[in-house]
Structure 1
Amino acid sequence: MKLCLLLNVIDPKIGGVMIMGDRGTGKSTTVRSLVDLLPEITVVAADPFNSDPEDPESMGVEVREKLLKGEQLPTIKTKINMVDLPLGATEDRVCGTIDIEKALTEGVKAFEPGLLAKANRGILYVDEVNLLDDHLVDVLLDSAASGWNTVEREGISISHPSRFILIGSGNPEEGELRPQLLDRFGMHAQVGTVRDAELRVKIVEERARFDKNPKEFRDTYKADQEKLQEQISSARSRLSSVQIDHELRVKISKVCAELNVDGLRGDIVTNRAAKALAALKGRDQVTAEDIAVVIPNCLRHRLRKDPLESIDSGVLVIEKFSEVFS
């Protein structure tokens, strides 16, 4: 779970993480703690969409128009945003609203940005994603796939960039996700309850130590935290130079083909995740070991479900990997 989250921060184009697991296994805690590790980004000052002054794909329409006119854009450094999507959110709260009255009387496009605008170039986290309304899920997936959110009301249409890392978590007991929804998440992590008594005691003690003095607890891990922050920053800058051999790419696609994975998302995500892992480890070349680490999380949720199959799909992926890469 932690590795999937880190790889998505290094390369947001992996396409997010779906975390499934038992109640009380720290899924939400882990996702929310990611905020402290996120690097800073440069954004256009006072822009509701966190527009990137360098990349036209992540710019709001107004910012792009100003840039084309040759105007100088004031910029600031800010932490990557993390937006929580509440289960009861309305579509207007998520997508944003258009003030029709203002648009008709004053002739201006009066747009009130929603959560998708706030999440641009950041992270959108949906806890209990399997309980979210289907139409909201479709809206999220469309925005995550296209990178844009379009709001249309009474013949008035407004679009803005909405590129975010989609992170969902849920408990499988509360219902499964639709296959086409699962397929849109780049990686899938499965979390189980710890069975080792010693480890359980350690977790309970750490929790008690945090409750007693949160500041002292955080200071204990400050050095490790800073080291990890530096690792992520250098991995993000190294990512573009990481290479993966043609032979390894062929083997990845062979694993996907032999597992009957529908579409090509599995191949693309596995390549991206392996590169991100190599960058995290400080290398410019992907190895077979990197692929072995990430491939179960990239493919396990893309396999066709067999009701009679009792083996975990991650194990099937590893078996096929060993066969092809041996």
Structure 2
Amino acid sequence: MIMGDRGTGKSTTVRSLVDLLPEIQVVAGDPYNSDPQDPEAMGMEVRESITKGKELTVVLTKINMVDLPLGATEDRVCGTIDIEKALTEGVKAFEPGLLAKANRGILYVDEVNLLDDHLVDVLLDSAASGWNTVEREGISISHPARFILIGSGNPEEGELRPQLLDRFGMHAQVGTVRDAELRVKIVEERARFDRNPKEFRSSYMAEQEKLQQQIGAARACLGSVQIDHDLKVKISKVCAELNVDGLRGDIVTNRAAKALASLKGKDKVSAEDIATVIPNCLRHRLRKDPLESIDSGLLVIEKFYEVFS
């Protein structure tokens, strides 16, 4: 979840992720980007093909970045069943929606705080189960919908429903740059991009490839990263003393600290890693007055140093 001032590059940053993440293996021509190795991320047609012993064509592709428009209908998001075709031809004629396209990819909702309640409910269901089920006139079709949910917005335009806010693992706040020199640098870089986008991208290619390799190595080593029991206890103590509802805060902080340690090339989580990620993991989970904006994270940092000192 990324909240901040207008014109600070939130959407640009999110859309750039596709070029940094490793390519994935998918079954060619499958609308759900089915994983040929993982049954939990396969559509029913692919499963049936494997059961029948058919050979699958596998291709490497970039992960999908799917934009969810604010005005989208539920049918556009979830998909539709052609009832007439189902009744006349006896087949389950399903037209996949955005959730199908987002499977194993990123589902991005700009201005997420303005999203209609009925679409929020759909996202909650899919995010919780990893599956999307469409039911019409007694016909039911399910498909995998495991995606990274990223939302962005301006807090001045309204807050999120608590149920949806809690689903976001981390919450980043983006502020407008105040340093005049840095603002000029950003303006100049934007002008350079407008003049020659290809040359601009080429100038950052080496840095981008280095970052891609770092992320690839971190993903490969993530499973071996350890976090000491006493650090886990301290994380949970911070959550308990801040009156964080539920256990998602504990779980996400542990995961984020491991991910950061792996990105740094370490095999063990340190207190410094936890200090870096814990404000983003907890600031949006604090009990607060409904009229207040989301805490800046200072309260979380203060409690962190109190518990970890």
Structure 1 residue runs of 4+, over 3 Å off? 306-313
| Contact 2:283/2:294 (8 A) holds in 1 | no
Rate the CA distance shift 1:133–1:307 in 2: closer, same or farther, 3 A: closer
TM value normalised by structure 1: 0.92
CA shift for structure 1 position 65: 2.2
Q: Distance in 1 between matches of 2:299 and 2:289?
A: 12
Distance 2:85 2:146 in 1: 28
- In structure 2, runs of 5+ residues without a counterpart are none
Distance across 2 between alignment mates of 1:122 and 1:181: 19
- Partner residue, 2:259: 276
1:172 is the counterpart of 2:136: no
- Picking from 92, 114, 123, the partner of 1:109 is 92
Instruction: Report the aligned-residue RMSD.
Output: 1.4
Residue number among 278, 283, 300 corresponding to 1:300 in the alignment: 283
Q: Indicate if the aligned counterparts of 1:303 and 1:313 stay in contact, CA closer than 8 A.
A: no
- Matched to 1:65, the amino acid is E
What is the TM-score with the length of structure 2 in the denominator? 0.97
Aligned-partner SS, 2:141 = strand
2:14 is equivalent to residue 46 of structure 1: no
Quote the offset at 1:301 in angstroms. Answer: 0.2
Q: Which moved more, 1:112-121 or 1:38-47?
A: 38-47
1:287 aligns with 2:295: no
Please show how residues 225-304 of structure 1 align to structure 2 within 5 Å.
225-304=208-287
Q: Deviations over 1:14-53 (max 9, x none)?
A: xxxx100011111011111112112111111111101111
What is the distance in 1 between the residues matched to 2:168 and 2:148? 10
1:132 to 109, 115, 131: 115
Which of residues 172, 196, 200 is equivalent to 2:183?
200
One-letter amino acid matched to 1:81: N
SS of structure 1 residue aligned to 2:297 = helix
Task: Indicate the larger mover: 148-157 or 26-35.
Answer: 26-35
Per-residue deviation, 1:279: 1.0
- Give the counterpart letter for 1:112 in structure 2: E
Instruction: Give deviations 1:184-235, integer Å, cap 9, x for gaps.
Output: 1000000111111111111111111111111111111110000001111111
Q: Distance in 1 between matches of 2:295 and 2:144?
A: 38
- Size of the aligned set, in residue pairs, is 309
Task: Write the distance in 1 (CA, Å) between the matches of 2:213 and 2:141.
Answer: 38
Structure 1 residues without counterparts, runs of 5 or longer: 1-17
Q: Within 2, Cα distance between the matches of 1:310 and 1:205?
A: 33
Classify the secondary structure of the residue corresponding to 1:187.
Answer: coil
Provide the C-alpha distance between the structure 1 equivalents of 2:214 and 2:256, rounded to a whole number of angstroms: 16
* 1:31 aligned partner: 14
Greater mean alpha carbon deviation, residues 58-67 or residues 162-171? 58-67
Paired position in structure 2 for 1:91: 74
* Residue 66 of structure 1: how far off its partner (Å): 2.2
Query: Aligned partner of 2:11: which letter?
Result: S
Match of 1:154? Answer: 137
Paired amino acid for 1:280: L
Q: Can you list the C-alpha shifts for 1:45-73, whole angstroms capped at 9, x where unaligned?
A: 11110111111111111212222333322
Shifted more, 159-168 versus 84-93: the winner is: 84-93
How is 1:5-24 mapped onto 2 (pairs within 5 angstroms)? Answer: 18-24=1-7
Q: Is contact 1:301-1:313 (8 Å) kept?
A: no
1:232-256, CA deviations, whole angstroms, 9 ceiling, x for partnerless residues? 1111111111111111111100000
